[in-house]
Amino acid sequence: MPRLFALLAMIAGVLLLARTMVEQTRPGPSPGTFRAKRSHRRDDTAAGGTEIHLTRSELAQVRDALTGAPLALDDELFRCARCDSFYGVQSVRALANDNAARCVSCGSTQRLSVVVDG
């Protein structure tokens, strides 16, 4: 019985050593592999802005970043201050409840109110 335990311990040790060696010899990503980099976009709230004015034609094809639905231009709208993602008020509430109020695209918590002109 003691020989069986010794044999099992030795087999486990060899398997652990083999696994460690395989992980160390795995190649990293090739130089041509795309790796997304963190955005260094501006933050419009740093300049003291709290709202942005846009026309209906500028928002005609824009969709809510959370739901993917077209924006309801008559409702209250918001734009991320860093990455220009747009949200309706319901999406902003959902982000506040489920995502610590962070933008789904860039993670910023800064938003500007959108005023729809014309």
Q: What are 33-83's pLDDT values in tens digits?
A: 655 555 444 445 555 568 889 999 988 889 999 999 999 989 999 999 898
Question: Which residues, in sequence order, are CB contacts of 79 under 8 Å at separation 6+?
Answer: 52, 85, 86, 87, 111, 112, 114
Residue 16 token pair: 């652990």
**Residue 57 located in a structural domain:** yes
pLDDT of 76: 92
**Residue 102 located in a structural domain:** yes
pLDDT of 40: 46
Domain that holds residue 95: 45-117
Q: How many domains does the chain have?
A: 1
**Residue 4 located in a structural domain:** no
More confident residue, 116 or 43: 116
The pTM of this model reads: 0.59
Among 69, 62, 89, 60, smallest CA distance to 111 is for 89
**Spatial distance between the Cα atoms of 8 and 10, rounded to a whole number of angstroms:** 5
